[in-house]
Chain A
Amino acid sequence: MPLVQKLFFYIVAMFLLMLILNLVRKRKLRENYSLLWIFISLVLILIVLLYPWLVKFSNLFLANPTSMIMFCGMVALLLLILQLCLMNSVQATQIKNLVQKITLLEEKVKNVSKKK
């Protein structure tokens, strides 16, 4: 991998890692949701630092390193989307239960107010 390309990858990966850490620091991103993002940026940094290993790994699948990075990137994105869907499913159930609780509590509050 040419030095310029290595540098570019490294800067992008570091920027992503810093961005995530900063978002966590500012409490805009929760720690549990940031883990997968941090993992992805660390993998990106490792790819730059251990490029010969990536070449060996790619050769195992008769692929070139660039295609391997693209493939791994796609898999990582799919995993991130799956994680978001999982979170969304949990939250949808929680929202449903909250809405029902509010609805029933509202009726109870009205009844109590009427009795007073």
Chain B
Amino acid sequence: MIFRKVLILIPAYNEEANIATTIANIKKFTKGKGWDILVVDDGSKDKTYLKAKKCEVIVVRHPFNMGYGVAIQTGYKFAIDGGYDILVQIDADGQHDPKYIPKMINTLRREKLDVVIGSRFRKKTDYHAPFMRRLGMILFSLIVSAVTRRKVTDSTSGYQVIDKKVLNFLSSDSFPCDYPDADLLIMLYFAGFKVDEIPMKMYENKTGKSMHGSLIKNFYYVMKMSLSILTIVLRKVTGLPSF
């Protein structure tokens, strides 16, 4: 088997309570494989940076908070600089179970895919999202499925395995840094990348924090995402580059 350089990317913002446990859990499944773990501290106000540093992983830090999308894009740029073949993206809050990482990488290789997404809704699990968020997830998953003509069940999952050939695309300025999920999947489809999901179990967020926290943020998310999808489709229809 050809050895492939793998980077596990953990974007983190104010995650001092979870970061050490998340890294320890990941290390259980990556032990002896020579994979690197990168924490991108998105300008946390707490001790996330110091706690991650103690775990003996690579930690980079934004000088100030830039948002989730910018943090993961910093990770993509790091992966390109470091010549990594595969990037695994996993949340810092411990909601994603790292036991799926080998399975996701194997699926990527076996099916010759470009992106593999861990889906909470591919199979029935005991994961429960608040009603409004669930509604948004269903709506955008339906839109993505309709546009890409493939069944997409979890368009907002941050648990992903990405092949290196997608990283240059994701590092460009057309990457939707605000909320890179449903719109990004459509962009990837138009760019000709192969994306598929595998079922996974996701744990409830113990802190209750979410980047779509308040009602205003939820409203902004829905409006921004709808506009983003509309412009991507319009660019495609009018013959402009979608990315």
Contacts and interface: CB of A to CB of B under 8 A. Distances in A.
A102 B63 contact: yes
Nearest to A95: B66
Interface in A58-100: 93, 96-97, 99-100
Interface stretch (B17-25, B70-78, B90-98): B70-78
Interface residues of B, number: 16
Mostly, the B contact residues are mixed
A113 interface: no
Contact of A100 (B58, B64, B70): B70
Interface in A96-116: 96-97, 99-100, 102-104, 106-107
Contacts, number: 34
Interface string B52-74: 00000010111110100010011
B61 A96 contact: no
B60 A99 contact: no
B173 interface: yes
A20 B40 CA distance: 44
Among A93, A97, A104: residue with most chain B CB under 10 A: A104
A103 B81 contact: no
B177 interface: yes
A103 B60 contact: yes
14 contacts: A93-B173, A96-B70, A96-B73, A99-B63, A99-B70, A100-B62, A100-B74, A102-B63, A103-B60, A103-B74, A104-B60, A106-B60, A106-B61, A107-B60
Interface of B: 40, 58, 60-64, 66, 70, 73-74, 77-78, 81, 173, 177
